[in-house]
Structure 1
Amino acid sequence: MPEGKIIKALSGFYYVEYQGEIYQCRARGNFRKRKLTPLVGDTVNFEAENKTDGYILGLKDRFNELVRPPIANVEQAILVFSAMEPKFSTLLLNRFLVHIESNNIEPIICVSKIDLLKPEQRDEINEYIIDYRKLDYTVLQTSIFMEELIEEVRPWLDHKTSVFAGQSGVGKSSLLNSLKPELNIETNEISTHLGRGKHTTRHVELIPIGSGLVADTPGFSSLDFIGIEAEELSNCFPEMRQREHGCKFRECTHSSEPKCAVKEAVEAGEIAKYRYEDYLSFLDEIKQQKRRY
Structure 2
Amino acid sequence: MPEGKIVKALSGFYYVLHNEELIQCRGRGVFRKNKITPLVGDEVIFQAENDLEGYILEVKQRKNELIRPPIANVDQAILVFSAVEPDFSTALLDRFLVLVEFNHIQPLICISKMDLTTEEELQTISEYAEQYQKAGYEVILTSSETETGIERLNPHVENKISVFAGQSGVGKSSLLNVLRPDLELKTNDISTHLGRGKHTTRHVELIKIGNGLIADTPGFSSLEFTNIEAEDLTFCFPEIAKASENCKFRGCLHVSEPKCGVKAGVDLGEIPTYRYEHYLDFLKEIKERKPRY
TM-score, with length taken from structure 2: 0.97
Deviation at 1:288, TM superposition (A): 1.4
Secondary structure class of the residue paired with 1:63: coil
Question: Match of 1:6, as an amino acid?
Answer: I
Amino acid at match of 2:44: V
Matched, 1:134 2:114: no
In 2, the alpha carbon distance for the partners of 1:57 and 1:124 equals: 52
Q: Corresponding residue for 1:7?
A: 7
Partner of 2:99: 99
- In the alignment, is the contact (CA less than 8 A) between 2:144 and 2:174 conserved in 1? yes
Residue 114 of structure 1 corresponds to 114
Q: How many Å separate the matches in 2 of 1:146 and 1:279?
A: 35
Q: Secondary structure at the match of 2:149?
A: helix
> Sequence identity, in percent?
65
Residue identity in the other structure for 1:224: E
- State the match for 1:87 in structure 2: 87
- Which amino acid in structure 2 is aligned with residue 280 of structure 1? L
Q: How far does the alpha carbon of each residue in 1:76-103 deviate from its partner, in whole angstroms, 9 at most, with x for none?
A: 1110000000000000000010011111
1:66 match: 66
Question: Which ranges in structure 2 are unaligned for 5 or more consecutive residues?
Answer: none
1:278 aligns to 2:259 (yes or no): no
The structural deviation recorded for 1:217 is: 0.6
Alignment-mate amino acid for residue 258 of structure 1 = P
Distance 2:221 2:53 in 1: 37
State the distance in 2 between where 1:53 and 1:123 align: 54
Does the residue aligned with 1:227 lie in a helix, a strand or coil?
A: coil
Contact 1:168/1:221 (8 A) holds in 2: no
Letter in 1 for 2:73: N
- Contact 1:234–1:253 (CA<8 Å) still a contact in 2? yes
Q: TM-score, normalised by structure 1?
A: 0.97
Q: What is the aligned partner in structure 1 of residue 258 from structure 2?
A: 258
Does residue 27 in structure 1 map to residue 27 in structure 2?
yes
| AA partner of residue 57 (structure 1) | L
| Aligned 1:201-212 pairs, distance under 5 A | 201-212=201-212
Tell me if the contact between 1:247 and 1:262 (Cα under 8 Å) persists in the aligned partners: yes
Contact 1:24 1:51 in 2 (8 A): no
Counterpart secondary structure, 1:6: strand
Contact 1:200–1:219 (Cα < 8 Å) also in 2: no
Change (3 A) 1:194 1:292: farther
Q: Distance in 1 between matches of 2:222 and 2:56?
A: 33
Structure 2 residue identity aligned to 1:229: E
- Contact kept, 8 Å, 2:69 with 2:221, in 1: the verdict is no
Deviations 1:23-68 (A, max 9, x none): 0011111111111100000000101112443111101100001111
Partner of 1:198: 198
Q: Which residue of 2 aligns with 1:232?
A: 232
Deviation at 1:149, TM superposition (A): 2.3
Letter in 2 for 1:77: A
CA contact (8 A) 2:65 2:74 kept: yes
Compute the RMSD of aligned alpha carbons. 1.2
Aligned residue number for residue 164 of structure 2: 164
8 Å contact from structure 1 (residues 168, 220) kept in 2? no
Please say if residues 234 and 241 of structure 2, whose CA atoms lie closer than 8 Å, have aligned partners that are also in contact: yes
Mapped to 2, the partners of 1:220 and 1:58 lie a distance apart of: 27
Instruction: Return the alpha-carbon distance in structure 1 between the equivalents of residues 106 and 56 of structure 2.
Output: 29
SS in structure 1 at match of 2:215: strand
Q: State the Cα distance separating 1:166 from its structure 2 match.
A: 0.5
Deviation sequence 1:132-175 (CA, Å, 0-9, x none): 01012110011112234222211111111111100110000010
SS of aligned partner of 2:289: helix
Partner of 2:47: 47
1:240 deviates by: 1.1
Q: Secondary structure at the match of 2:208?
A: strand
CA gap of 1:36–1:221, structure 2 versus 1, over 3 A, is closer
Amino acid at match of 1:198: K
Which residue identity lines up with residue 279 of structure 2 in the other structure?
Y
The question of 1:289 aligning with 2:289 is answered: yes
